Each structure stands twice: as C-alpha cells, then as structure tokens.
Structure 1
Amino acid sequence: MTLMHFKSIVDNEFLNGADGLFKLCDKVFENVEAKLREEENEAVDAAEGADKRVIKTLLNHFRK
C-alpha cells in the first residue's frame, strides 16, 4: 500500500464521518425547529385565549 493510497483511504473515511455528522446535526436541527414551532403555537394559542377572556370580561363589565 502506498502512502498516497493510505491517505486517500483516510480522507475518504474522514469525509464519510463528516457527512454522517452533518446529517445527524441536520436531523437534530429539524427536531429543535419543530419543537420551537410547537411551543410558539402553544404560546400564541394561550395569548389568544387570554385576549378572549379579557374581551369577555370587559364586555360583561359594560353590559351591566
């Protein structure tokens, strides 16, 4: 085995490892992004619910 052939094998293994790591990081990022979107939707729903309660309270106050 020549030194160049060995270097080629090492480089190829490094690139395969880097590609695998990149794919793993991409999946983690997608999962984190989905979780953040879910939490944002929950926060928006909670805020909208609070707004509706405030409006109902004000309407009830002025109807009396």
Structure 2
Amino acid sequence: MAKNLLTASFAYVCILFTSFWTFEAEMRSNLYGSLNSDLFSFSQTLPFLKALFSAYKNTLMAY
C-alpha cells in the first residue's frame, strides 16, 4: 500500500511540475503579448489542474 501511494504521489508531482513548467514557459514567451492571451492561457490550464488534483485526491481516498 505504501509503495502504491508513493508511486501515485511521485506521478502526481511529476505531472504537476511538467504542467506548471509548460505554463510558465508559455507565459514567458507571451511576455510581450497581450494580456488577453495570457488570461486565456491561464483559463485553459486551470481546469486541467483542478481535474488533476481531483484524480490525485480520489487515488488517495482509494487507499
């Protein structure tokens, strides 16, 4: 059980790091772009992060 929990936690952290790293790189590339495109990018990323956290929480509840 502890090994499965550790694996799930590690996978969650890797996915979260990758998504934030991608989002941060996109924000940096749009630094001189319009504010609307940055807000649109964030509004597209936020539901994904909410779904990811929900899946992680469900994984923890299963153990």
The normalised TM-score by structure 2 is 0.49
Higher helix residue share = 1
- If you compute each CA radius of gyration, which structure gives the higher value, 1 or 2? 1
The normalised TM-score by structure 1 is 0.49
